[in-house]
């Protein structure tokens, strides 16, 4: 299993010699699959919450509100220290500044959970190594995993440290974890701890210490077992530092579960170059398929990029009311399942801008459903689309482009 973190670190070095998460995009409560889950949206598959999740539900509320047991900073070097918490999910270790550690320690950490029993199994997959395959049908929106990180490291601080000092901090942080957590971390691909972090970690931002947030790398060994596909069937999001992994579309029994390690809006040539720079060739169906299909895909991606630019252009009238619908339809045709929420949002807003109440409501409802998967049911974007669907005429966008057109 490889990831985008190496690319992110190389970028950091170029800037510093100065978003997703090291599995790229730069971007980042969850509909449940069992009546035990209080955030359930609808009953789908016969999966149920994990025993840990159930235990948390039946515990007194006071126990879930207790402060977590974090250690004082250890082995500080140039303001970067090791912090650990052995009470959370078998252990979480941080390598960061005290200021960022304080922010991270305020995060709510969910017990590891998701669909139970897991609807997937690990196996060796040809040309890819170890991967995950569905052992039953999985419905779109099903939460597959909820995971806290095993190890978190502040990106810029690690890049600036001398290799020996960096490895000393890594070793100390890993030693603070339970044996199971250490074993899971070490089972990831990579020659040593540093290589495993570069190869498998995801990037997220810690906000509060500065305006834009500070990049941190999080190791999620279970999630790192997902292999790459340029048209993935699984989506993940990071809230604070908790990873939620969701089925982006219906998945059939026996199908491999995949995420994307690259920006899936890149043309095929650039995606292949990005993957190749990490030491392997992309083996996904799109990249290995007929040349004419790849060419058609690249044409759709160029059109998506052009329409996005036109929809964002309020200086010139380059769009019609139906431009947003075309933009969304291209996402559907291209199989960009994890980004349909954003596409439907643009379509809904564009119809509102042109004063089309029925179509604006239609796409806002579709956007809200997809954004539940993409960003979470309580995300601002999902809530905003529900508000637009409820009363398009009251939305601030209502009729703005129609007025300009006149």
- Interval 210-228: pLDDT, tens: 667 899 999 999 999 999 9
* Cβ 31 vs Cβ 377: under 8 Å: yes
* Cβ 197 vs Cβ 170: under 8 Å: yes
Residue 129: per-residue pLDDT: 84
Residue 210: per-residue pLDDT: 65
User: Helix axis angle, 163-175 relative to 179-186, nearest 10°?
Assistant: 140
Rounded to whole angstroms, how far apart are CA atoms 121 and 315?
Answer: 52
Rounded to whole angstroms, how far apart are CA atoms 364 and 269?
Answer: 34
Q: Is pLDDT of 75 > 80?
A: yes
54, 78, 339, 360 from 399: Cα distances, Å: 48, 55, 26, 11
What the block records as the tokens of 225 is: 């077992």
Residue corresponding to tokens 């169906």: 285
Q: Is pLDDT of 64 > 80?
A: no
Q: For residue 279, name the pLDDT band (cuts at 50, 70, 90).
A: confident
Please compute the mean of the pLDDT values over residues 97-121 and round it to a whole number.
92
Rounded to whole angstroms, how far apart are CA atoms 250 and 329?
Answer: 18
Q: What angle do CA 344, 348, 353 make, to 5 degrees?
A: 145
Torsion of Cα atoms, 93 then 98 then 101 then 105, to 10°: 100
Q: For residue 108, name the pLDDT band (cuts at 50, 70, 90).
A: confident
Residue 18: per-residue pLDDT: 29
Burial class (CB in 10 A: 0-12, 13-18, 19+), 151: buried
* Cβ 142 vs Cβ 33: under 8 Å: yes
Residue 62: per-residue pLDDT: 36
Tell me the pairing of strands 227-228 and 256-259.
Answer: parallel
The three-class DSSP label of residue 138 is strand
pTM for the model stands at 0.80
Find the length of the chain.
406
Helical ranges in 59-201 per DSSP H: 61-64, 98-105, 155-160, 163-175, 179-186, 193-200
Q: For residue 126, name the pLDDT band (cuts at 50, 70, 90).
A: confident
**CB neighbour list of residue 20: distance below 8 Å, 6 or more residues apart:** 4, 26, 27, 28, 202, 203
């Amino acid at each position: 299993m490889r990831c985008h973190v190496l690319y992110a670190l190389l970028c950091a070095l170029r800037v510093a010699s100065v978003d997703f998460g090291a599995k790229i995009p730069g971007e980042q409560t969850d509909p449940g699959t069992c009546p035990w889950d209080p955030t359930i949206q609808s009953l789908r598959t016969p999966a149920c919450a994990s025993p840990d999740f159930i235990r948390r539900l039946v515990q007194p509320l006071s126990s879930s509100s207790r402060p977590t047991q974090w250690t004082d900073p250890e082995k500080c070097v140039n303001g970067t220290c090791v912090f650990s918490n052995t009470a959370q999910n078998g252990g979480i270790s941080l390598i960061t500044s005290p200021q960022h550690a304080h922010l991270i320690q305020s995060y709510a950490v969910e017990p590891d959970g998701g669909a139970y029993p897991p609807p997937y199994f690990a196996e060796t997959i040809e040309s890819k190594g170890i991967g995950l395959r569905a052992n039953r049908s999985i419905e779109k929106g099903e939460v597959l995993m909820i995971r806290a990180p095993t190890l978190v490291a502040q990106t810029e601080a690690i890049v600036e440290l001398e290799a020996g000092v960096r490895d000393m901090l890594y070793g100390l942080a890993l030693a603070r974890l339970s044996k199971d957590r250490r074993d899971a971390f070490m089972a990831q691909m990579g020659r040593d701890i540093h290589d495993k972090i570069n190869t498998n970690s995801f990037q997220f931002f810690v906000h509060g210490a500065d305006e834009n947030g500070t990049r941190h790398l999080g190791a999620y060994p279970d999630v790192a077992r997902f292999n790459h596909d340029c048209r993935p069937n699984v989506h993940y999001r990071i809230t604070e530092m908790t990873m939620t992994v969701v089925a982006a579309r219906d998945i059939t029994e026996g199908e491999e579960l995949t995420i994307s390690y690259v920006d899936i809006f890149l043309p095929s040539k650039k995606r292949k170059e990005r993957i190749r720079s990490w030491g392997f060739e992309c083996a996904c169906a799109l990249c290995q398929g007929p040349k004419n299909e790849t060419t058609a895909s690249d044409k759709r991606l160029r059109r998506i990029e052009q329409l996005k630019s036109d929809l964002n252009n309020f200086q010139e009238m380059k769009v019609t009311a139906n431009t947003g619908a075309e933009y969304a339809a291209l996402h559907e045709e291209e199989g960009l399942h994890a980004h349909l929420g954003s596409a439907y949002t643009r379509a809904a807003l564009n119809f509102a801008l042109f004063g089309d109440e029925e179509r604006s409501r239609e796409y806002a409802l579709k956007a809200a459903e997809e954004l539940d998967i993409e960003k979470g049911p309580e995300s601002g974007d999902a809530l905003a689309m529900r508000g637009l669907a409820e009363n398009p005429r009251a939305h601030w966008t209502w009729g703005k482009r129609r007025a300009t057109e006149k």
